[in-house]
């Protein structure tokens, strides 16, 4: 096991920001998406594992601190010199002599940025300089915390495609914090779901989807006619503007799809929608907590 978290608690003053009772185990080669609403404890967990936030409990690992790398949300660099020299100083190497660094710069199409100052870079370019320096460490365990936050859709998609391609077939373990669910659908194999500092669930992405959503779901616009037409099918929790319907098996999926097509209703079919899964996992957790009088056991 690469890393195990047991009975972890992180407090800021009197505020309990994170508590993990049941063991959370991270294995070599895992691709873990860490999801939750704002204030759920995602960044707090990353900072505790990295040892830059005090905690109580156990984080058991054979990794040395230098064998962990992290791309955190906020990064600033010296703006009075070209980023070429910033990278060389921070990495203690020379771009001309370092083949791995040259490869990453080419891979992330960063050559034209080397002569610019940090403040002159676009949002996507600023993210790339940090990504390159994090990936230069080739760490066994790497955290990416909101690596595409604030970027437009096209830039986010491009960065995620590059990350996927770079790590394809490699044994590095990745933990990705993101509120862009479509990114995690591409990158994550496991999900750690947090809510208000508690673990809602943790496991394989496909297993969690089946647990909370069924075999597959159909998503369509929320209106009275669509609600009336699909009233005989199980409705899941979803954003207000959508109707999400659960299909237990292929037969039910075919019946529902036929019904929607027959009535010329536009729909989306999914067996991996993380947003719908998260909403329903959180709803189930809240319901169990109510039944237990405010206390809820971790999954």
Q: Name the packing angle between helices 99-107 and 123-135 (round to 10°).
A: 150
pLDDT number for residue 163: 86
Look at residue 299 and tell me whether its pLDDT is greater than 70. no
Name the 3-class secondary structure at 192.
strand
Q: Which of 113, 127, 213 is nearest to 163 (CA)?
A: 127
Structure tokens at 191: 């999900």
- Provide mean pLDDT across the span 20-33: 96
pLDDT number for residue 79: 84
* Entry field: residues in the chain: 299
Confidence of residue 158 (pLDDT cuts 50, 70, 90): confident
Look at residue 6 and tell me whether its pLDDT is greater than 90. yes
Q: What is the model's pTM?
A: 0.90
Instruction: For residues 158 and 124, give the distance between their C-alpha atoms in angstroms, rounded to a whole number.
Output: 10
pLDDT number for residue 284: 96
pLDDT number for residue 156: 84
Lowest mean pLDDT among 16-25, 121-130, 257-266: 121-130
Q: Name all domains of the chain by residue range, CATH numbers in brackets.
A: 3-203 (3.40.50.300), 208-291 (3.30.70)
Lowest mean pLDDT among 12-16, 175-179, 292-296: 292-296
pLDDT number for residue 294: 64
pLDDT in tens, 61-115: 999 988 999 988 667 788 889 999 999 999 999 999 999 999 999 998 999 999 9
Query: Judging by DSSP bridges, how do beta strands 3-12 and 56-61 pair with one another?
Result: antiparallel
| Mean pLDDT rounded to a whole number for the chain | 92
Instruction: For residues 259 and 82, give the distance between their C-alpha atoms in angstroms, rounded to a whole number.
Output: 60
Contacts 24+ apart (CB under 8 A), 115-123: 115/82, 115/84, 116/82, 116/83, 117/79, 117/80, 117/81, 117/82, 117/83, 118/76, 118/77, 118/78, 118/79, 118/83, 118/86, 119/79, 121/83, 123/150, 123/151, 123/155
Look at residue 295 and tell me whether its pLDDT is greater than 70. no
pLDDT in tens, 182-196: 889 888 999 999 999
pLDDT number for residue 74: 66
Residue with tokens 């096991």: 1
Look at residue 29 and tell me whether its pLDDT is greater than 80. yes
- Provide mean pLDDT across the span 121-138: 89
- Provide mean pLDDT across the span 257-284: 97
Instruction: For residues 33 and 202, give the distance between their C-alpha atoms in angstroms, rounded to a whole number.
Output: 10
């Amino acid at each position: 096991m690469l890393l195990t978290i047991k009975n972890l608690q992180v407090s800021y003053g009197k505020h309990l920001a994170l508590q993990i009772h049941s063991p959370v185990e991270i294995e070599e080669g895992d691709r873990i998406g860490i999801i939750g609403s704002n204030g759920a404890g995602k960044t707090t967990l990353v900072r505790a594992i990295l040892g830059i936030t005090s905690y109580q409990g156990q984080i058991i690992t054979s990794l040395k601190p230098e064998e962990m790398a992290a791309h955190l949300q906020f990064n600033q660099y010296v703006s009075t010199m070209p980023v070429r020299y910033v990278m060389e100083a921070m990495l203690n190497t020379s771009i001309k002599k370092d083949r791995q660094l040259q490869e990453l710069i080419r891979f992330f199409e960063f050559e034209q940025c080397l002569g610019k100052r940090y403040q002159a870079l676009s949002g996507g370019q600023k993210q790339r300089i940090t990504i390159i320096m994090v990936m230069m460490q080739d760490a066994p365990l790497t955290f990416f915390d909101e690596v595409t936050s604030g970027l437009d859709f096209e830039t986010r998609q491009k960065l995620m495609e590059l990350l996927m391609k770079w790590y394809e077939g490699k044994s590095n373990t990745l933990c990705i914090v993101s509120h862009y669910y479509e990114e995690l659908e591409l990158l994550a194999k496991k999900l750690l779901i947090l809510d208000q500092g508690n673990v809602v669930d943790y496991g394989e992405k496909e297993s969690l989807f089946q647990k909370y959503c069924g075999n597959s779901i159909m998503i369509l616009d929320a209106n009275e006619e669509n609600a009336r037409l699909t009233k005989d099918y199980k409705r899941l929790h979803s954003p207000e503007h959508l109707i999400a319907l659960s299909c237990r098996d292929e037969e039910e999926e075919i019946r529902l799809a036929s019904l929607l097509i027959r009535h010329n209703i536009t729909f989306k079919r999914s067996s991996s929608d993380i947003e719908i899964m998260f909403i329903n996992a959180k709803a189930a957790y809240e319901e169990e907590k109510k039944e237990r009088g405010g206390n809820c056991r971790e999954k």
